[in-house]
A and B are shown apart, each in its own frame.
Chain A
Amino acid sequence: MVKAVLAKVIENRPEDAVAFLADYFENFGDKPNKISQAHQQLVLTHHSRPAFEGNVRAAYDILSQFRVSKSLQGLNGVAYTELLQLICSGFPEDVKEKLMKKIGCRDNEVVPFNVFRAAIFTCFVLQDYIKQAEQLFHALDIQKTGTADKVLCETTLNQLFLAVSSSEHGIDTKTVLDAAYSLGPDRLYLALNKAVVSPARGSRGTTTCDEFVISAVDSFLLKVSPLT
């Protein structure tokens, strides 16, 4: 058992090895539920590390033994949805709803590995994205009141939306340059200046963090292709 956990530490290289080990042993004793086992595999390392791919594969293997009924075994929509809900438990409700519309599977559908992998990556990247959006909100909320000026928020998110939608049809050098330029400090200043000087009607007021995050996720979901 110790060998296994050491192998995991070397593979995943957590920043705080002691905490990693503590978490691992704590969850090890829990009732082995396939979904939570798979979830445990997935949170071992950050999604940008190469070890994450191996972890996704291991999680899929665990879930492939999920018992659907007496004679049927495999990853179906029920287990898939439950796992996604577990991963996204920190997200606001609206975000979860919108996400499931794009990548949700029906209860009786079989989930092949590629679909599973894409969905897991999307969830984890979305997790990072929401963190970024929250940080952006706190940057916009200069007085730290918990709410930020609606005009500023809307214009900022609008710029992002424009950048994202222009690169919708595939990515190449030109679109990357264009996006980087439109999100650069100069263009941002011009857009914000214009908005502050002549705000659109109905844009006065303030936005809360949750509302901000929910609108930001719209830009993200533009990039997620729905399942067919």
Chain B
Amino acid sequence: MNADPKNGTPKTPLYIKVGDLKVEFHSGCCILDIGFPNTISVEIGEIHFKNYYTYALSLKARRRGDSSEPASEAKWKTCLRNMRLMPHPHFETGSQDYFTISRKQLSYDLCNVTGLRFILRQPSPIWKEFKIEDLKFCKTSETKPVSLPSWLLKPPRPIDEEDREIKGAPPMETLSNHLQQMWGLGEQAATNSTQNALGRFDVDGSYEINLLSYT
């Protein structure tokens, strides 16, 4: 997975709190706008962030070339609808957890993004301050699916236990047992080997001319 974290720069740290705080009305809703002014073509595979007492999150994105009008105001399309981060808004669970939004959870591909809008909601009056922190965007490439070996996909006809005897040879199970243990011991030797070099100069038993020095 080529995760290339690039930090989308917020246009301004825009935590728009809807509603007038002076009147003691906490709307419980907060908008976080992310802009990508420096990069031209933005493709987002994954979004990582740390929650801070946000109950639910919706994500809208604005893509270039989405709307037919050439005007600069492209439409915001919801790509993640109401993802719940905390199971109970009044309680602490999930309030400071790390989350990852992967491609599978989004409604459409995030390519050519010009702007992202996180809509955070926290209806509980207990948590007056809420936000998401440590936003990171990653571009992931497809991992090559490892193919199963052919003998698993199309198992050959199993040989009956009675037929598996060879004249003059011990039962296959015993042999197999011993061989597998020996193989295991060999692997143990491999894991115990060290990369530490002794600092030898010779290559295959003889010295390399260039490494010998005149003193």
Contacts of A183 in B (CB 8 A): 176, 179-180, 183
Contacts of B25 in A (CB 8 A): none
Q: Given that A186-B159, A223-B186, A228-B200 are known contacts, is A160 also in contact with B179, CB under 8 Å in the complex?
A: yes
Tell whether, in the assembled complex, residue A160 and residue B183 are in contact, meaning their CB atoms are under 8 Å apart: yes
Contacts of B181 in A (CB 8 A): 132
Mark interface residues in A145-189 (1 if CB within 8 Å of B CB, else 0): 000010010001001100110010001001001111101111011
B208 in the interface (beta carbon within 8 A): no
Tell whether, in the assembled complex, residue B170 and residue A142 are in contact, meaning their CB atoms are under 8 Å apart: yes
Q: Which residue of B lies closest to A185 (CB)?
A: B172
B187 in the interface (beta carbon within 8 A): yes
C-alpha gap A228/B186 in the complex (Å): 20
Closest chain B CB from A85 CB (angstroms): 19
Q: Which residue of B lies closest to A190 (CB)?
A: B159
B206 in the interface (beta carbon within 8 A): no
C-alpha gap A160/B172 in the complex (Å): 14
Tell whether, in the assembled complex, residue A186 and residue B158 are in contact, meaning their CB atoms are under 8 Å apart: yes
Return the contact of A121 from the options B166, B174, B178, B189 (Cβ within 8 A): B189
Q: Which residue of B lies closest to A163 (CB)?
A: B183
Chain B residues numbered 56-95 whose CB sits less than 8 Å from any CB in chain A: none
Mark interface residues in A106-143 (1 if CB within 8 Å of B CB, else 0): 00011110110110011001101100110110011010
C-alpha gap A189/B159 in the complex (Å): 9
Chain A interface, number of residues (Cβ within 8 angstroms): 56
Tell whether, in the assembled complex, residue B169 and residue A192 are in contact, meaning their CB atoms are under 8 Å apart: yes
Return the contact of A223 from the options B146, B170, B190, B196 (Cβ within 8 A): B190
B215 in the interface (beta carbon within 8 A): no
C-alpha gap A125/B191 in the complex (Å): 11
Closest chain A CB from B32 CB (angstroms): 41
Give the bracket for the number of chain B residues in contact with chain A. Answer: 35 or more
Closest chain A CB from B53 CB (angstroms): 40
C-alpha gap A189/B161 in the complex (Å): 10
Contacts of B186 in A (CB 8 A): 129, 164, 219-220, 222-223
Tell whether, in the assembled complex, residue B196 and residue A149 are in contact, meaning their CB atoms are under 8 Å apart: no
Return the contact of A196 from the options B166, B176, B179 (Cβ within 8 A): B166
Closest chain B CB from A123 CB (angstroms): 10
C-alpha gap A204/B189 in the complex (Å): 33
Tell whether, in the assembled complex, residue A115 and residue B189 are in contact, meaning their CB atoms are under 8 Å apart: no
Tell whether, in the assembled complex, residue B164 and residue A185 are in contact, meaning their CB atoms are under 8 Å apart: yes
Interface centre among B182, B187, B192, B197 (most CB of A within 10 A): B182
Closest chain B CB from A140 CB (angstroms): 6
List A residues at the B interface (Cβ < 8 Å).
Answer: 105, 109-112, 114-115, 117-118, 121-122, 125-126, 128-129, 132-133, 135-136, 139-140, 142, 149, 152, 156, 159-160, 163-164, 167, 171, 174, 177-181, 183-186, 188-190, 192-193, 196, 216, 219-220, 222-225, 227-228
List B residues at the A interface (Cβ < 8 Å).
Answer: 146, 149, 151-152, 156, 158-159, 164, 166-170, 172-176, 178-183, 185-194, 196-200
6 example contacts (A-B, Cβ-Cβ < 8 A) are as follows A121-B189, A122-B189, A126-B189, A136-B182, A152-B169, A190-B159
